[in-house]
Amino acid sequence: TCAFAGQKKVLAAYEEAVKCGYSGARAGRLHTPHGVFDTPMFMPVGTQATVKAVSPRELKEMGAQIILSNTYHLYLRPGTELVAEAGGLHRFMDWDGGILTDSGGFQVFSLGPLRKITEEGAAFRSHIDGSTQFLSPEIAIKAQMNLGADIIMAFDECIPYPAEYQYAKLSTERTTRWAERSQKAHTRSGQALFAIVQGGMYQDLRRVSANDLVSLDFPGYGIGGLSVGEPKPVMYEMLEQTVPLLPENKPRYLMGVGTPDCLVEAVRYGIDMFDCVFPTRVARNGTAMTKSGRLVVKNAAYAKDFLPIDENCGCYACQNFSRAYIRHLLKADEIFGLRLTTIHNLYFLLDFTKKMRQAILEDRFLSFREEFLAQYCK
């Protein structure tokens, strides 16, 4: 904990960032009111207060530490006041690990042309009932205080890709003003507010955004506006420009990323935290993630394949069921099939970040990265 602007706040303090020999890769420990967690870490996405198709008990069993929920969705349904009356998000969804809520900046952007953004905030149409809605830094922070997550995000604008330089510049400057308004509106102790670096795909805007937000002094920093359709080398270049400007002793969270190859590169640049819908989303159309790439277990090729998805995987699906069985369930539209592919994909990414942490602690991250990329991109 530390005294902060007169408020006593338990911040997501960042300890023992063990630096490995190469550039920014590091293993750390993240302190929150719901526990101390190891980084690098992958955070399963539970948009509407549930990680689709799996229970909190299964999440705990597979090693999930912090899960993500979306303020935009919960604000529209069931309402964040209702969740507060239920005792907060942890109680509501029976999850006693860490929770991080995104502020809605991305959802408003991904809603496309329905939105209108002004200095005050963002007006948009609800994807549920088409009603006109409005989010501002103050509204988004109040909603997140009601939800009671351990880590909450400043309200920002996730700049679309591609975007004109002038638009990206004005939007990024506004996001910094919104970060300051988010800070002023954040009065709940025991909750860490992270800022979000934007700047589009422009190196200079990324640097200005990072420097301005660091001057405002946040306990952690999200890097937003990436993985929005840009080529991977552009994303890596933005990381190279941004991460070194962020304080070494604070967590860096790359939002919305990603596949294992992106994770291992981002860790190399010094990213600590990730979230992505990819593992749960592709699971629902029968795709399993493996260290050699994707395996579409629904394919006819696996009809008589009585091996598990991955015989070296420790997850519940691979320990007990065959590809043939899972394919049968998926073809028969059995819900248990989706549960098994989801359990496997989440376990795969959680285990992958655990393996990266171990490699960093044993100072062999670089060779781990080489070996993985050689096999994965095959």
Three-class SS of residue 57? Answer: helix
Check binding of 227 to ligand 6H9 (CB under 6 A).
yes
Binding mask of the shown chain, residues 134 to 163, with x at each position contacting ligand 6H9 by CB under 6 A? ----------------------x-x-----
Residues in the chain: 378
Check binding of 105 to ligand 6H9 (CB under 6 A).
yes
Query: For this structure, is 102 an active site residue?
Result: yes
Query: Least distance to ligand 6H9 from the beta carbon of 30, Å?
Result: 19
Three-class SS of residue 62? Answer: coil
* Residue nearer to ligand 6H9 on the CB measure, 76 or 228: 228
**Cis peptide bond upstream of 40, omega within 30:** yes
Three-class SS of residue 38? Answer: strand
CB 199 within 8 A of CB 209: yes
* Residue nearer to ligand 6H9 on the CB measure, 158 or 340: 158
CA–CA gap between residue 270 and residue 268 (Å, rounded): 5
CB 199 within 8 A of CB 206: yes
CA–CA gap between residue 197 and residue 222 (Å, rounded): 6
* Residue nearer to Zn ion on the CB measure, 140 or 330: 330
Residue 344 binding: pick among Zn ion, ligand 6H9, none (C-beta 5-8 Å cut-off by kind): Zn ion
Could you tell me which residues are beta bridge partners of residue 2? Answer: 9
Residue 38 dihedral angles phi and psi, to the nearest 5°:
-85, 140
Three-class SS of residue 114? Answer: helix
Helices (H) and strands (E) in the chain, counts: 15, 18
Query: Least distance to ligand 6H9 from the beta carbon of 213, Å?
Result: 12
Check binding of 225 to ligand 6H9 (CB under 6 A).
yes
Catalytic residue from among 150, 212, 272, 275: 275
Query: Least distance to Zn ion from the beta carbon of 308, Å?
Result: 7
Check binding of 255 to ligand 6H9 (CB under 6 A).
yes
* Residue nearer to Zn ion on the CB measure, 228 or 317: 317
CA–CA gap between residue 85 and residue 92 (Å, rounded): 9
Nearest residue to ligand 6H9 on Cβ basis: 256
Query: Least distance to Zn ion from the beta carbon of 343, Å?
Result: 7
Query: For this structure, is 275 an active site residue?
Result: yes
Check binding of 228 to ligand 6H9 (CB under 6 A).
yes
- How many residues bind to ligand 6H9 according to rule CB under 6 A? 13
Longest CA–CA separation in the chain, Å: 65
Site for Zn ion in 300-339 (CB under 5 A): 313, 315, 317-318
Question: Nearest-CA neighbor of 156 among 239, 215, 72?
Answer: 72
Stretch binding ligand 6H9 (CB under 6 A), from 129-137, 186-194, 202-210, 222-230: 222-230
Question: Nearest-CA neighbor of 256 among 269, 234, 273, 241?
Answer: 273
CB 359 within 8 A of CB 368: yes
Catalytic residue from among 102, 150, 212, 272: 102
* Residue nearer to ligand 6H9 on the CB measure, 269 or 368: 269
Footprint of Zn ion on this chain (CB under 5 A)?
313, 315, 317-318, 344
Footprint of ligand 6H9 on this chain (CB under 6 A)?
102, 105-106, 156, 158, 196, 224-228, 255-256
Instruction: Point out the residues that are catalytic.
Output: 102, 275
